[in-house]
Structure 1
Amino acid sequence: MERKRNHIEKVRDWADDRLRRMCGRITPGKRLAVILLMFFFFGGLSIYITVSSIYNIGKRDRQRLQIEHIRQLPLHGNDTTKSINPLNRPQYGRSTEE
C-alpha cells in the first residue's frame, strides 16, 4: 500500500511541476485568456450535458415523458360534523357543539 501511495505522490509531483513550468512561461494576459476560454468551454459543455439529459428522459424506453394537467380531486360535501381535527369528531367523545 505504501508503494502505491509513493508512486501516486511521484506522479502528482511530476504533473504539478510540469504545469507550473508551462504556466510560468506565459504572460498574465495570456493566462487570463486561457482560463476564460476553459471556463466558457467547460461551462457550455456542462449546460449541454444537463439539457440533453433532461430532454432524453424516458427516450430510452421509447416513451416520452407525459405531461398533463392536474385533475381536481372529488371533494366531500360541506358537512360540519366532519372535521379534519380528530378531537372534534363525535365518535371520539368530544365535539365543538358542546
Structure 2
Amino acid sequence: METRKKKGCIEKVQDWADDRLRRMCGRITPGKRLAVILVMFFFFGGLSVYITVSSIYNIGKRDGRRLQIEHIKQYPLHDSDSINPLNRPEYGRSTEE
C-alpha cells in the first residue's frame, strides 16, 4: 500500500515537470530552441571532454607524486620446488639421482 503512494507521488512530480517543460519549450521559436540545444550540447560536451582529460591526466597522482613503476622481483624458490612430483624429496626420491 505504501509503495503505491510513493509511485503516485513520483508520477505526479514527473507529470508536473513534463507539463512545465512542454510549456516552456512551446513558447520559444524553433530558431531559439535550436540555439538552446546547441549551447547545451557544446557546454555538456566540453564538460565531458574536460572531465575525461582531467581524469586521464591525474591517473597515478597521489599527493603530488607520480606513480613509480618498479621492475618485477624474482620470487624466491625453495630447494624442494620441482615441477616433477616424483622428483620431490617428500615422495621418497632424492633430487640427486
Q: Report whether the alignment pairs 1:41 with 2:43.
A: yes
- Measured against aligned partners, the alpha-carbon deviations of 1:42-85 in whole angstroms (never above 9, x if no partner) come to 00000000000110111125431458xxxxxxxxxxxxxxxxxx
Q: Which structure 1 segments of 5+ residues have no match?
A: 68-98
Cα distance between partner residues in 2 of 1:42 and 1:66: 34
Q: Secondary structure of 2:66's match? A: coil
Please point out which of 45, 57, 60 is paired with 1:58.
Answer: 60
Q: Secondary structure of 2:65's match? A: coil
- Measured against aligned partners, the alpha-carbon deviations of 1:10-69 in whole angstroms (never above 9, x if no partner) come to 0000000000000000000000000000000000000000000110111125431458xx
| Percentage of identical aligned residues | 84
Normalising by the residue count of structure 1, what TM-score does the alignment of the two structures yield? 0.63
Please point out which of 9, 13, 16 is paired with 1:14.
Answer: 16
Let me know the Cα RMSD of the aligned residues: 1.5
Q: Could you list the structure 1 runs, at least 4 aligned residues long, displaced by more than 2 angstroms after superposition.
A: 60-63
Normalising by the residue count of structure 2, what TM-score does the alignment of the two structures yield? 0.64
In the comparison of the two structures, how many residue pairs are matched? 67
Q: Which structure 2 segments of 5+ residues have no match?
A: 70-97
